[in-house]
Amino acid sequence: MVLSRDLLPLFLIGSEGEALKGERRRSRPEVVTNALRATDDRRLNLALYGFIDKGGKNNKVFRSWLRSAFSFPAEVARDERLSYQALDAFKTAQKVADALQVALRMLRPKMAAAPRERKNLRNSQRGETDALAGFWQRLEPSLARTFLDDLAEGKADAMKNLKGVLRSEARNAFKAAADPHRRDADGLFRIANASNYLERRLARLLPKEKNL
């Protein structure tokens, strides 16, 4: 299953011509543009089919079949202003995920030769992966559905609500990964450092609006 956050930007008019690596630029699939021209429905429903090549052992490449279904407000895809707001939100979510990933890595115990300590390190790395995957999984409904619907309906607090969800989910994911490290003083020290880093990044990426 391909996550909406990976492909939805392709369907938004605001992403047309976006600079990628080198001289490459993003181009919205023609089938999406034609569908938007042909439909008067408030929602656009698309199904994506294709293959993903995944690397394996001994330089072998395995091709896996994928199918993903998308449903989102057509108005957000058509309107350039709404598209840019959606794209900014997707980019902010990615930056929050990047900050969370750094904080999770800060929880890792020191490298050591003892078998038990190596096992603790492997467990910590698995915890990072699970926490980050859980973050995106829980965020998906709010980011790809609720937020886009709020934009289409013209709700002024759409971004404010999404920021609250991002802040909450990042903290929840960090707490779940940090709990197993609360066994000794060294673990508590790492948790404190990582938590301080994450809170600083969240404050910068998701500043709270001042009440007038």
Q: Summarize pLDDT for 2-45 with one digit per residue, the tens.
A: 445 666 776 776 556 666 666 666 667 677 777 777 777 888 87
The two tokens of residue 95 are 């930056």
For residue 168, give the nearest of 70, 84, 93 by alpha carbon.
Answer: 93
Q: Which domains does the chain have, with CATH numbers?
A: 4-77 (no CATH), 79-205 (1.10.132.100)
Determine the average pLDDT of the residues in 83-95.
Answer: 91
Query: Hey, CA dihedral for 18, 24, 30, 35, is it positive or negative?
Result: negative
Lowest mean pLDDT among 93-97, 108-112, 122-126, 168-172: 122-126
Q: Whole-prediction pTM value?
A: 0.78
For residue 158, give the nearest of 68, 96, 81 by alpha carbon.
Answer: 81
CB 69 within 8 A of CB 47: yes
